[in-house]
Amino acid sequence: MEKQIEKHVEIERSIIKRFRKEIWRKFITAVNDYELIKEGDKIAVCISGGKDSMLLAKCMQELKKHGKVHFDLVFMVMDPGYNPYNKQIILDNAEYLNIPIEVFNSNIFEVVASVPDSPCYLCAKMRRGYLYKHAKELGCNKIALGHHFDDVIETVLMSMLYSGQMKGMMPKLHSTNHEGMELIRPLYMVKEADILAWKKYNNLTFIQCACRLTENCMLGDNGMGSKRQEMKELVKKFRQTSSVIDMNIFRSIHNVNLDTMIGYQKGQVEHSFLDDYDDRVTMNTITEED
């Protein structure tokens, strides 16, 4: 037991010290810049058993321990029908990392197995609903998911190339189906490569994907697992070409110039540049050369 305690403390210190620039500062920046955590929050950290959600759990623990804002945490594991081997890995890692998880069961894998079309979409939708519902029952007002920087820019590219939309992954969202509940993504600015480096540095092993149907079934993936893998490869090529392209994709969704957009949607209302085109004739904000 003594060795386990020492090891989880060492892992916690690695986040604050060894990976301070790559992980901790970016985690804190996202929490502050996007106002993800407020005084009195009770947050359910949703743990799937992978590297991202486990790192998120440790970062949230450290923030609660050292931060100025007072909030409560619940570490929630939903078992959608894991095989015994994967479930045991999750339980063992939680104990090793000193994460006091609460496990609850669902029959999602069983239900999804009978669906011929878009099983990943249905799985993602059902999992999100179960997480919100159970978190609310525990008295939480927020759920925290482990989506990171790469998930964000992959979503932007995937939406453009396969959906014909400029659509991003938000750092926080109000639930439309569960009143008073909010979703937050505190690892929003942390790159996947740095999460992998943290995992390797601490010699940790996590499950890759516990889905019994497809390895690409990921929460929030909307049934486009294989397309997301394509985006990972595309981002990899971009990074080989230039060291700034990934960050510029990320920055682009923070700096949208609506004066140069043909159309956009706000809520359920669609807008066109023609709506106020003639009213802008004297503004001279855009030259013909542009």
Each residue of 243-256: pLDDT tens digit?
Answer: 999 999 999 999 99
In a domain, 229, yes or no: no
In a domain, 245, yes or no: no
- pTM here is 0.88
In a domain, 172, yes or no: yes
**AA identity, residue 260:** T
Domain range for residue 81?
7-222
Tell me the C-alpha distance between 226 and 216, whole Å.
6
Q: Which CATH number does the domain housing residue 92 bear?
A: 3.40.50.620
Each residue of 185-243: pLDDT tens digit?
Answer: 999 999 999 999 999 999 999 987 656 554 444 333 444 557 888 999 999 999 999 99
Query: Which among 170, 208, 173 has a CA at the least distance from the CA of 188?
Result: 170
The tally of domains found in the chain comes to 1
Tell me the C-alpha distance between 152 and 159, whole Å.
11
Q: What is the DSSP string of 136-203?
A: HHTT-SEEE----HHHHHHHHHHIIIIISS-----SEEE-SSSTT-EEE-TTTT--HHHHHHHHHHTT
Contacts (Cβ under 8 Å, ≥6 apart) of 53: 45, 46, 47, 145, 146
In 60-128, DSSP assigns E strands to 72-79, 101-105
Tell me the C-alpha distance between 217 and 213, whole Å.
8
